[in-house]
Structure 1
Amino acid sequence: MSMRSVSLTRMLTLVSVLTAAGIITVLLLQGHSSAAESHARMSSVADSTSSSAAPASAAAPASAKPSAKPKPSATAPAAPAANAALRSAVAGANGAVSVSVTDLGTGRSLTYGAPGHGFATASIVKLDILSTLLLQAQDQGTVLTAAQRSLATTMIENSDNNAATALWNQIGQESGLNTANRRFGLVSTSGGTDGNWGLTSTTAADQVRLLRQVFTGDSLLSSASRSYVQGLLGQVESDQRWGVSAAASGSDYAVKNGWLPRSATGLWVINSIGMVQRDGHELLIAAVSDGNLSESSGIALVQSVARAAADSLNGS
């Protein structure tokens, strides 16, 4: 082969290599351009959704109807609204008043009036003192002594203050009461200090929680303890049967009342708690009040709110 032929062959080979390289470069540039455009499109989508509260894929279509609110569970009935009589009674109180009621059969419940207000218990704390005493005895594997039972009887049935003081000291005063109440599930009750058990602070809702410990099987108290307390509450002396008993449809009820004139103001604390039978329903009711002008006006107030709250459960 001549030198001229060799040179021509090398030249043609070089041209082929350069041509191929150019094609590859074009392909690479085209690929880079496509990837860049794709990234740009993705960035544009991201920018368009970044100012929204949710990604576009999670947003509801403009024509979509809002989802329905979940229906109340059968095990958690919707709370009834306070009726006109209850609203009027609470609004007309000279001081503060609150009522809480639970239907043990239906599970419906209502608490109304004075949210966040702590009420002095006066003598309704005597039920709490006895419940604490019984819980402590259960913890120790013992039963109440004859002396303790005698004190408990006069404390509940006659609302005797000396008996209450004796048992208050035996349970460890406010420390013992507060410890038991935490176990009972009371969340807004604090024992009175310096021996002043009547100044224990509570709410209507907490008092219904305490009543559940006495009147239902969902309780830390034994069946024997519950029956014992129920018997005493059903035998309070006749002049102390006012209060939530006004909501009963007959004479089947168990109550404990409290009344206390405040020395600083001359105004009355009037409270009532208990279980009543109303039209075939067992209701736990607590009505607590303070700032009443007189004992009689306070009694009328708690009786009116107890009746109205019971009616509200039935939608009347």
Structure 2
Amino acid sequence: MSRHRTRRPALSGLVTAAVVLLAGSAAGGAYLVGRPPDDAAASVAAVSSASSPPAEAGRSEEPEVDLDAELADALAPLADGADVSVAVLDTESGTGAAYGDEAYDTASIVKVDILAALLLLAQDEGRELNGAEQAYAEAMIRRSDNTSATELLKVIGGEEGLDAANERLGLTTTRAAHAWGLTQTTAADQVRLLEAVSGTDSELSAASRAYLTELMGQVEADQRWGVSAAGSDAVLKNGWMPRTTTGLWDVNSIGRVESGGHTVLVAVLSRGHATKEAGIALVESVAKAAVGVTGAVTPAG
């Protein structure tokens, strides 16, 4: 396998990986009202020839690693025809990998995006969230309450307000929808959102990031599936939604986990599942594979 080491300081350099998972439930679903190896230096030069040039100095003998290719190989036995996409980023090393770059329905993972937009709005207005906004925010993230998401989408200015916030947050392939669960996004953009929530180079203030992360760490026990299978100390948000046109499920999971002493951001998207349970099983398998591939690389340095 050709290998290419990727070490990037931020998601802007991350190649996207998309895995489509479809899942649904009244709470978590959408509101549908709507290199070759480096040349082994000059070991191929003539043996015992005084005129042979010396080995080329400064050339690394360490093979590079193509993580996207390794991820594709790892997912081959798992995907089995499923429509799935994943992106992963090791925040310590900057190592990332991706599989797939298509856009998928967000289902309820968009609730993280909606709250990030609300926090940006409050920052711009120089205020904290009011009592009603806090109640909606906590219900929307911890219980995946749909009514709360609908109300907060109105507060931020609807889909236009969400798109404007996403531009500030560095999302480039996410397009909001009035029926918020049908917002279109990619796995790479969801990792960008996780970077904005978890990192320091963000439009979100430290207090806003801490608040959002705290809520994502407190989702109800029966919703702590998905990327949490790939590590410990997960902060996450899941989305699941049956499509009325097909009866098949979208199942998605985004979040941050600790693995091998590293903090890893993971986004898995999928669709076309016969059941929610089948979607969850695939999402968890894909998340484990993605974190395993990225965590196996020692950063260059």
With the shorter chain as reference, the TM-score category is: 0.7 to 0.9
> Are 1:86 and 2:75 an aligned pair?
yes
> Are 1:140 and 2:125 an aligned pair?
yes
> Are 1:179 and 2:164 an aligned pair?
yes
| Offset at residue 93 of structure 1 (A) | 3.7
Normalising by structure 2, we get a TM-score of: 0.75
Aligned partners of 2:90 and 2:295 also within 8 Å: no
Aligned partners of 2:188 and 2:267 also within 8 Å: yes
| Offset at residue 88 of structure 1 (A) | 2.2
> Are 1:229 and 2:228 an aligned pair?
no
Give the Cα–Cα distance (whole angstroms) in 2 for the partners of residues 79 and 131 of structure 1: 33
Q: What is the correspondence of 1:101-250 to structure 2 with a 5 Å cutoff?
A: 101-113=88-100, 115=101, 117-192=102-177, 195-248=178-231, 250=232
Give the Cα–Cα distance (whole angstroms) in 2 for the partners of residues 210 and 158 of structure 1: 20
Q: 1:68-87 CA deviation, whole Å, 9 max, x = no partner?
A: 9x98xxxxx96523243323
Aligned partners of 1:292 and 1:298 also within 8 Å: yes
The residue identity in structure 1 corresponding to 2:270 is S
CA 247–125 in structure 1, closer or farther in 2 if over 3 Å, else same: same
Relative contact order, CA 8 A, sep 6+: which one is greater?
A: 2
Give the Cα–Cα distance (whole angstroms) in 1 for the partners of residues 158 and 107 of structure 2: 15
Structure 1 runs of 4+ with >4 Å offset: none
Give the Cα–Cα distance (whole angstroms) in 2 for the partners of residues 285 and 174 of structure 1: 25
Aligned partners of 1:267 and 1:291 also within 8 Å: yes
- RMSD (Å) for aligned C-alpha atoms: 2.1
Give the Cα–Cα distance (whole angstroms) in 2 for the partners of residues 231 and 162 of structure 1: 21
CA 229–112 in structure 1, closer or farther in 2 if over 3 Å, else same: same
The residue identity in structure 1 corresponding to 2:239 is G
Q: 1:212-270 CA deviation, whole Å, 9 max, x = no partner?
A: 0110101100000000001000000000000000100x3x1101000000000001000
Give the Cα–Cα distance (whole angstroms) in 2 for the partners of residues 247 and 202 of structure 1: 22
Aligned partners of 2:87 and 2:98 also within 8 Å: yes
Which position in structure 2 is the counterpart of 1:275? 256
Q: What is the correspondence of 1:230-309 to structure 2 with a 5 Å cutoff?
A: 230-248=213-231, 250=232, 252-309=233-290
Q: 1:174-193 CA deviation, whole Å, 9 max, x = no partner?
A: 1000001011111110001x
Is the helix fraction higher in 1 or 2?
A: 1
The residue identity in structure 1 corresponding to 2:257 is V
Normalising by structure 1, we get a TM-score of: 0.72
Tell me the number of residue pairs that the alignment of Structure 1 and Structure 2 aligns. Answer: 238
Structure 2 unpaired stretches of 5+: 1-55
Aligned partners of 2:163 and 2:176 also within 8 Å: yes
2:272 is paired with a residue whose SS is strand
Give the Cα–Cα distance (whole angstroms) in 1 for the partners of residues 93 and 296 of structure 2: 13
